[in-house]
Structure 1
Amino acid sequence: MELGDTRHRQTSRFLWLYALAAAGGAVAYVPFLTLLLPVRVGELEATDTIGALAYIAFAGAISASISNIAFGWLSDITRNRRGWILAGLALSSVLLVSVRRTDSAAELLGVIVVWQIGLNMMLAPLAAWAGDCVPDEQKGRLGGLLAFAPALGALSGALVTIPGVADADARLSLVAAIVAICVLPVVLFGKPIAMPHLTAAPAASESDAAVAHRQPRSTVARMWLARLLVQIAEAALFAYLLVWFATIDADFGDNRTATVFTLVLGLSIPLAMLAGRWSDRNDRPLLPLAIGSGIGAAGLVIMGIADTLSSAIFGYVIFGLATSVFLALHSSQTLRFLPKPATRGRDLGIFNLTNTVPSLIMPWLTLALVPLFGFDALFLLLAGLAGIATVLLLTAKR
């Protein structure tokens, strides 16, 4: 039972079903991009798998960036989030299954570009829907629940690749089925309480100065930049964690790396829920974000000076826990600071660039530093970026 005034509080049913749908969004791309797509690229382009995969990843990131903004904007204009979610779910599922029917890397690239369009037709309105339905006093709780998404995304990859569970064709169909099972309940049965105050335009009697004071635009810019800086570090670790561990201990293989990665994601869930609840009770949405990026910077420093496997794992666990909590809470608290409800979907699409742009920056950053100075220099630079994010958030205005 909810305590206090429930007239402006969303139901627990909607919050949990929405978190399940967000997890379905992660299931839609995490196992495919990290496990199933590289295998298919290797089958089609065995002589240059890395090069072909790089081109496909680049084109996919561009397609995702543009389509997320576009469909967020279209859902703003039509005021029909659920319709776009259902259409995107159907289109992305059909295209995902069709990946096995491609006959060349070029054809696969085309399918991936269109698949990203369908996927973001679902993801962009889904993200904006939370802003329409979840009031500020529950956004911390929502952020805690969103921490389930990356964990379930990683878990789904482990499940569909268990030997004997499904062949290469069936794995894609299985992923599509899991996504539908996760996303459809909130669309069909969520029944959120209407929150007109979350979608209404500012009153005509309010002066521009009053609106600017209530929703400082500088804070929006700081949150965007802070997430970008943290996501650059997150993307680098996601891509090169296994390689780095192997430079310290050659026997530390992919299974042990995956175990550490999964452990971090699992432990981050209760931490994010506790931090989210605290931020709601104390009305301090930015402080947990600043603490998360600051602790993440400390973890990167530990990684940069680590010379043993135990200290390396310890540094990564500190970094991984802190940034996982940061990213989950940031996703929900961003909705608090966006200036215009009427363009919420479009604005979230612009925030989504902080998820796609790092994948374009990170490879060049790594190539510039690691061959000459080693991973130590990379981690210390990333620690500096996370430190800047901390300063941006600590000095932001409410």
Structure 2
Amino acid sequence: MTPEVSPPAPQPLWFILLLALAAAGGAVAYVPFLTVLLPVRIADLTGSDDIAALSYATFAGAIVASFANIGFGWLSDRSGSRPGWIAAGLLLSSALLVAVRYADSVTGLIVVIMAWQLCLNMMLGPLAAWAGDCVPDEQKGLLGGLFAFAPALGALSAALVTTPGFAGDDARLVVVAMLVVAMVAPVLIVGRGHELPRLMQPTAPIAGEPVEPWRSRSAVARMWLARLLVQIAEAALFAFLLFWLRSLAPGYGGNDAARLFSSVLVVAVPLALVAGRWSDRVRRPMLPLAVSAGTSAAGLAMMALAPSLEFAIAGYMLFGVASMLFLALHSSQTLRVLPRPQTRGRDLGLFNLTNTVPSMIIPWLTLSLVPLFGFAGLFWVLAALCALASLLVAAIARPI
């Protein structure tokens, strides 16, 4: 009789919570800065809302971030120790964030931002790979659900540091840096040694031996493309949501849009946690991804057909909640499909391109469609992209 093999012991909940807190710390590092503090700093330097300067700064930073995430992920693969890279990136990026206040020209500011993006991704790339070294497949749904807190905490930190009377412009940078250190440092201090050997064992394809379907090259390609498609839709809505709502109701203000986005977060975060936990229990990791991508497409279709502001807002709520759920759960389930632990950091860096490439696609896509077909034409195209993403992840076999 073959002895029954007991399932491996799961990671303690406190450790997964600290990993999720560190991931949220990454969001706190860039959301307040890129959305609020950087535009304010550029306005201080130029004396106006210089859109061109802001575009140059964000574009240069995005290029550096793309290559740095791949590079430091690869270096953490080669070194065999990720916490050291995370700690170095945390300290250097925090110092450079504070140094932004000393930049006295737009050119100097762009140089500091590029250096900051380099060091920030020294932290973010190895951090994502470290989660893959530590969290077993049986808990990846839970991890993905907890990842949904990252954008919420990023938005909350932006609201906190910009509260009137809370801190001056320079002090806000210090506050953000302190928040990031407080969120990332705990897992580095008490979480070392939680790597699971079975998740780090080098693998290589063996001739004639079948590859697990959810770790095949086609599964990896589908997961990459599906995230890119949903990210394009999400980035387009992030950039043009207010303009579209004002086209339906000219009096719709920025504060109204902020409240709408907050409502999406309130609904999406607990729903992602429930869906991720459910996918762990029933061992259907791809089903929530397929359903949420398909629901995103339905929300975009509602927006394209919206006869009124209320209907439009309902469509956006459906899209916003579903797309946020997809992106949070996708981040953890990507760790499941990557086939080679010895290149996990590099491969996650390649997946990170799905976060930066959309910013290069959206302007072209919008200028091509909106002048000719209006926002409805744009939403129909985005709905088709999300529907395709749903089909791509649905085609990945579930593990047994």
SS in 2 for 1:10: coil
Deviations 1:27-61 (A, max 9, x none): 00011111111111222234671111111111111
Query: 1:377 is matched with which residue?
Result: 377
- Aligned ranges for residues 16-95 of structure 1 at < 5 Å? 16-46=17-47, 49-95=50-96
User: Aligned partner of 1:26: which letter?
Assistant: A
The answer to whether the 8 A contact 2:31-2:158 is kept is yes
Return the offset for 1:179.
0.5
1:152-301 correspondence runs (5 A): 152-191=153-192, 193-202=194-203, 207=207, 209-211=209-211, 213=213, 215-301=215-301
TM-score relative to the length of structure 1? 0.96
Write the letter of the residue equivalent to 1:315: G
- Cα-to-partner distance string for 1:94-146 (whole Å, 9 max, x where unaligned): 11111111111111111111110010000000000010000001000100011
Normalization by structure 2: what TM-score?
A: 0.95
Q: CA deviation at 1:254?
A: 1.1
Q: In the aligned structure 1, how far is the partner of 2:257 from the partner of 2:375?
A: 17
Deviation at 1:251, TM superposition (A): 2.0
Task: Report SS of the residue matched to 1:210.
Answer: coil
Offset, 1:210: 2.8
**Rounded Cα–Cα distance in structure 2 between residues aligned with 1:84 and 1:195:** 19
Q: Which moved more, 1:32-41 or 1:60-69?
A: 32-41
In structure 2, distance between residues paired with 1:203 and 1:375:
47
Relative to structure 2, which stretch is displaced further, 43-52 or 220-229? 43-52
Answer yes or no: is the 8 Å Cα contact 1:8–1:135 preserved in 2.
no
- Gap runs ≥5 in structure 2: none
In 2, the alpha carbon distance for the partners of 1:276 and 1:200 equals 26
For 1:147, the equivalent position in structure 2 comes to 148
For residue 166 of structure 1, give the secondary structure of its aligned residue in structure 2.
coil
Evaluate the alpha carbon distance shift between residue 14 and residue 315 of structure 1 in structure 2; reply closer, same or farther with a 3 A threshold: same
What are the ranges of 5 or more consecutive residues in structure 1 without an aligned counterpart?
none
**Are positions 1:107 and 2:108 aligned together?**
yes
How far apart, CA to CA, are the structure 2 residues paired with 1:41 and 1:186? 34
Does 2:367 match 1:367? yes
Task: Look up the equivalent residue of 2:306 and give its one-letter code.
Answer: A
Equivalent residue, structure 1, for 2:302: 302
Deviation at 1:394, TM superposition (A): 1.5
Q: What is aligned with 2:353? A: 353
Runs ≥4 residues deviating over 4 A = none
CA deviation string 1:42-85 (max 9, x = no partner):
22234671111111111111100000000000011111111011
Deviations 1:246-290 (A, max 9, x none): 111122211111111012112111111111111111111111101
Residue identity over aligned pairs, in percent, reads 60
Q: How many correspondences in the alignment?
A: 394
Q: 1:37 to 1:203 in 2, by over 3 A?
A: closer
